[in-house]
């Protein structure tokens, strides 16, 4: 009975081994069909044992290997050349942009200079006008405090516009201080033609054009 049981176990083992070999061979053939492996190349030694030639991978000649390396090197050189061209284009773009920014900065500087010059000119005109205003007011007060005939003598010797400025400032001071303006009396003491001319000009020009 023991010998009979051992033979049965041995038979099962052999059957299982055969089944495993069949399944492995089927799997190899299936992977070969799917081009996942090259079964004939892998099993070439087995084919030679049974007298058949298996498929082997062709061996590359040294020249072919050199050509492959040269192709890879050429490809890398081409990529480097493209990268270099791209960097040159970016550098040129940056230079152009820098030139535009520099030109804009120069234009802004010129505009700032023009604005500064206009501001300085305006300030100079303003100071000149303020100085003239103070001078006219000082003359008006000085002439108002003088004897009328003496003041008229000075006013008659002035230019028409200077005399008109004094007349208007004298009237402004009198109005601000609530007193009577002496301008009418000065005009009455002047030669009639000169007085008429001054009155005509005073009536024809607004105070802002003094």
Q: What does each of the 210 residues of the chain score in pLDDT, given as a tens digit?
A: 555 566 778 778 888 888 888 887 777 777 766 766 666 665 666 556 655 555 554 554 556 556 767 778 888 888 888 989 999 999 899 989 888 898 888 888 888 888 888 888 887 887 777 788 888 999 999 999 999 999 999 999 999 999 999 999 999 999 999 999 899 999 999 999 998 999 998 887 655 444
CA–CA separation, 196 and 133 (whole Å): 25
Check if the beta carbon of residue 181 is closer than 8 Å to that of residue 170: yes
CA distance readout (Å), 91 to 77, 85, 96, 101: 21, 10, 9, 15
The b/e string for 137-151 (b: 16+ C-beta within 10 A; e otherwise) is bebbeebbeeeeeeb
Query: What's the pLDDT at 152?
Result: 92
CA–CA separation, 91 and 102 (whole Å): 16
Q: What are phi and psi of 206, to 5 degrees?
A: -70, 160
Query: What's the pLDDT at 132?
Result: 84
């Amino acid at each position: 009975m023991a010998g009979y049981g051992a033979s049965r176990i041995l038979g099962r083992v052999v059957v299982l081994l055969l089944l495993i070999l069949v399944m492995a061979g089927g799997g190899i053939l299936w992977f070969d069909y799917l081009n996942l492996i090259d079964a004939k190349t892998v099993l070439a030694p087995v084919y030679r044992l049974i007298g058949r030639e298996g498929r082997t991978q062709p061996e590359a000649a040294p020249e072919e290997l050199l050509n492959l390396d040269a192709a890879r090197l050429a490809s890398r050189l081409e990529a480097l050349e493209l990268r270099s061209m791209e960097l040159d284009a970016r550098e040129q773009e940056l230079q152009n942009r820098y030139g535009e920014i520099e030109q804009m900065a120069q234009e802004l500087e010129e505009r700032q200079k023009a604005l500064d010059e206009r501001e300085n000119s305006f300030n100079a005109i303003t100071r000149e006008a303020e100085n003239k205003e103070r001078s006219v007011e000082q003359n008006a007060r000085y002439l108002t405090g003088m004897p009328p005939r003496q003041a008229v003598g000075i006013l008659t010797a002035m230019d028409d516009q200077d005399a008109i400025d004094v007349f208007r400032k004298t009237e402004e001071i009198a109005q601000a201080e609530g007193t009577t303006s002496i301008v009418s009396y000065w005009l009455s003491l002047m030669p009639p033609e000169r007085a008429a001319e001054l009155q005509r000009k005073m009536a024809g020009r607004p105070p802002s054009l003094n």
